[in-house]
Amino acid sequence: MSATDNPFGQVLVALVTPMTIDGEVDWPAVERLMDDVIVGGADGIVVSGTTGETSTLTDSEKLELVRVGKRVAGGRAKIITGGPSNETAHAIQLAQQSAEAGADAVMAVTPYYNKPTQSGVLTHFRMIADATDLPMILYDIPGRTGIPITYDTIVRAAQHPNILAIKDAKGDLTEVSRVLNDTNLIYFAGDDANALPLMSIGATGLIGVTANIAPHAYRTIVDAVNGGDLTAATAAHQSLEPLVRATMTHVPGTVSTKYILHGLGRIPSPRVRLPLVGPEDAEAAVIEDDVARVRGIEGLDLSNFRPDRNAAAGGALPRIAGTTR
């Protein structure tokens, strides 16, 4: 599939959802962060995905994130709704409501916890894809969902006219190559560390967590790959390694990313909703140590990084619980 056929972009940010100390969505901070990553080079934003704490957002919050994203982006970036649910009926409802709210695309994760057969997985995806005219990204992350999307299921799903892409957090480069050979799917790296490795074998781009902090560096990688400059792409990839380690290896990526963004003064609070909690002292120490090892990331100034362990401690209960409907 050519770049002109890609309705999503290449540098997509799996956006965190900034919150107040009380665990309510901080809408002004959401707007600032959205604008920040777009200015930094993102051409797509995934809202209310795993990183956005979809499991503890209400449906009304998820839809408002789409509306706010469209307003802030103003045509500069695509707004993709994440999740949407492990219940097919609910996923269909959210996809339709997101389309009405202005979403440019849907990203649908493998049904988690229920652990359906591959026939059930395929039916789930097809019914969501049938529910709107929006292009859809499959999200394959067996470490969170308990089951993979198998090769055969991916190939069958790819025959649906609205299923155009897959976010791969499985990390099987052999399977990625096989699917790229056998389908026209657009591939996005779903593990930050694998952005360049997957692009080197034909993936289109990434849907990244660390891109909340350093979107410009991922823009550099993507543009370098597009231009055939592996040296520049590799240099940016290597400079990102300690930051990726800081965000993705010690605590959930949402927690570490908010901790770092708050330390940089880019969001007012690092608060997450329970059952997520901020890093404990030992966890915060290794995050801070990794950040201290970061050198030479273009567009990222860490000289004023001031992490606040006390502000990040614990988690919050919002006023309204996230509900199935």
Active site residue 78: no
Q: Which residues pair with 138 in a beta bridge?
A: 108, 166
Task: Confirm or deny that 88 is annotated as ligand binding.
Answer: no
Active site residue 62: no
Within 8 A by CB and 6+ apart from 20, the residues are 26, 268, 269, 271
Of 279, 216, 180, 290, residue with least CA distance to 246: 290
**Active-site option among 167, 187, 218, 259:** 167
**Active-site option among 62, 139, 187, 259:** 139
Task: Confirm or deny that 207 is annotated as ligand binding.
Answer: yes
Please tell me the distance from the alpha carbon of residue 227 to that of residue 224, in angstroms, as a whole number. Answer: 5
**Residues assigned a catalytic role:** 139, 167
Q: Which residues are annotated as a binding site for pyruvate?
A: 51, 207
